[in-house]
């Protein structure tokens, strides 16, 4: 299985003003260990993340690289690793299909690992994560961290079915239980 993860609000705390430095990266409790459990079970894990802070000129590509080095380090400390870290720096006013809700990054991840959509799952906290997955027929899981509770309250019916969990750790526990049954 290919597990596609949104970044902000799933692995680390969301920030309205963007995570621009390693100091602003605050991991969500249990997220690193959840990634490690996916790794250990043989699943592929790919982050697909809008990072328009770059496209908006609020941070540089180097800043984003530094944040991602910190993310990889934090995951590693919990025994986890990412098989791919795919980002889109488009600003919203010049969005390509790569920027969620466009499905471009998710398609890139499927292509990179030669995975069919029905062998993938998207875990996100925002409507646009679920929209991108729905566009490709990828299964959708919403977590209540980050923007998740707001998203849950206004979830468009067209995006159903969506499975909802409190956080990534709970979502991974449920996925593991399925795989074992
Ligand atoms: Mg998010």
Per-residue pLDDT, 179 = 76
- Please identify which of the residues 8, 14, 90, 167 carries the catalytic annotation: 8
Per-residue pLDDT, 24 = 98
What are the distances in angstroms from CA 66 to CA 21, 72, 91, 126, 173?
7, 10, 20, 24, 30
Contact 28, 13 (CB under 8 A): yes
168-180 vs 31-40: helix axis angle to the nearest 10?
20
Question: Catalytic annotation on 6?
Answer: yes
C-alpha–C-alpha distance, residues 62 and 75, integer Å: 20
C-alpha–C-alpha distance, residues 8 and 145, integer Å: 9
What is the whole-number distance in angstroms between the Cα of residue 133 and the centre of ligand 1?
14
Sorted by where each begins, the domain ranges of the chain are 2-180
Strands (E), 17-152: 44-50, 84-88, 120-124, 139-143
pTM beyond 0.95: the answer is yes
User: Domain 2-180 is of which CATH architecture?
Assistant: 3-Layer(aba) Sandwich (3.40)
What are the distances in angstroms from CA 43 to CA 26, 36, 125, 176?
25, 10, 21, 10
Per-residue pLDDT, 149 = 98
Per-residue pLDDT, 180 = 78
Per-residue pLDDT, 170 = 98
pLDDT tens for the chain, 181 residues: list them: 999 999 999 999 999 999 999 999 999 999 999 999 999 999 999 999 999 999 999 999 999 999 999 999 999 999 999 999 999 999 999 999 999 999 999 999 999 999 999 999 999 999 999 999 999 999 999 999 999 999 999 999 999 999 999 999 999 999 999 977 7
C-alpha–C-alpha distance, residues 149 and 129, integer Å: 14
What is the whole-number distance in angstroms between the Cα of residue 129 and the centre of ligand 1?
8
- Please identify which of the residues 6, 63, 90, 167 carries the catalytic annotation: 6
Greatest CA separation found in the chain? Answer: 48
What is the whole-number distance in angstroms between the Cα of residue 176 and the centre of ligand 1?
22
């Amino acid at each position: 299985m290919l597990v596609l993860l949104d970044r902000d609000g799933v692995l680390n705390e969301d920030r309205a003003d963007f995570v621009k430095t390693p100091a602003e990266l605050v991991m969500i409790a249990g997220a690193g260990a959840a990634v490690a459990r996916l790794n250990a079970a043989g699943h592929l894990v790919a982050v697909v993340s809008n990072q328009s802070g770059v496209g908006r000129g609020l941070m540089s590509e180097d800043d984003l690289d530094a944040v991602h080095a910190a993310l990889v380090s934090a995951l590693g400390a919990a025994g986890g690793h990412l098989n791919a870290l795919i980002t889109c720096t488009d600003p919203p006013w010049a969005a390509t299909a790569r920027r969620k809700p466009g499905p471009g990054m998710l398609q890139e991840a499927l292509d990179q690992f030669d995975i069919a959509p029905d062998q993938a799952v998207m875990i996100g906290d925002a409507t646009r994560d679920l929209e991108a997955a729905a566009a490709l027929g990828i299964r959708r899981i919403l977590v209540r961290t980050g923007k998740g509770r707001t998203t849950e309250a206004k979830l468009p019916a067209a995006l159903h079915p969506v499975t909802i969990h409190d956080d990534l750790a709970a979502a991974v526990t449920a996925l593991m239980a399925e795989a074992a049954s």
